[in-house]
């Protein structure tokens, strides 16, 4: 059996369902084509309380960019955990990166920068560039 191909920038996020760190079930279909996605995949074992707290502290800013932040310990095919993924409302991956073991928290300013970039994209202009 072959291992699934790793997801990369420009790929589409497959529809998925995960349990969040808050013990809620999240289905990507509920926001697809409606909101951008900030997906944080944590390792199954580890203490990421500081990271989760940091992300929760920025939820209002994520909302400002019409983005749903999902934090989970569930894995997804094609993404090596721990990782962070930013996708636009149509599921196109704009940014995907590993969360390094040494820096357990993504730079919130960097994530906000990616979300601002997604929010300011012009779909018509992007179509002309392809």
Mean pLDDT of 85-95: 96
Mean pLDDT of 63-87: 94
Mean pLDDT of 19-40: 96
The whole-number pLDDT of residue 106 equals 57
112 token code pair: 């906000």
pTM: 0.86
More confident residue, 43 or 130: 43
Strand order in the sheet with 67-72: 67-72, 36-41, 83-87, 93-98
The whole-number pLDDT of residue 122 equals 66
Cβ atoms < 10 Å from Cβ of 29: 11
Closest to 87 in 3D by CA, of 11, 26, 4: 11
The whole-number pLDDT of residue 36 equals 97
User: Could you tell me which residues come within 8 angstroms of residue 111 by beta carbon, excluding any fewer than 6 positions away?
Assistant: 38, 58, 84, 86
All domains of the chain, ordered by start, with CATH? Answer: 17-129 (3.40.30.10)
The whole-number pLDDT of residue 107 equals 62
Would the pLDDT of 89 be above 50? yes
24 pLDDT band (50/70/90 cuts)?
Answer: very high
49 pLDDT band (50/70/90 cuts)?
Answer: confident
What is the SS3 assignment for 118?
helix
Closest to 101 in 3D by CA, of 113, 85, 77, 83: 83
């Amino acid at each position: 059996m072959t291992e699934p191909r790793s997801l990369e920038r420009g790929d589409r996020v497959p529809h998925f369902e995960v349990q969040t760190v808050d013990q809620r079930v999240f289905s990507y279909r509920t926001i697809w084509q409606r909101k951008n996605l900030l997906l944080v995949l944590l390792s199954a074992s580890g203490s990421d309380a500081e990271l989760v707290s940091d992300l929760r502290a920025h939820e209002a800013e994520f909302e400002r960019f019409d983005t749903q932040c999902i934090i989970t310990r569930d894995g997804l095919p094609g993404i090596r955990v721990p990782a962070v993924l930013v996708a636009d409302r149509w599921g196109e991956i704009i940014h995907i990166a590993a969360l390094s073991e040494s820096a357990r928290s993504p730079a919130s300013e960097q994530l906000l920068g990616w979300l601002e970039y997604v929010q300011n994209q012009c779909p018509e202009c992007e179509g002309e560039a392809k």
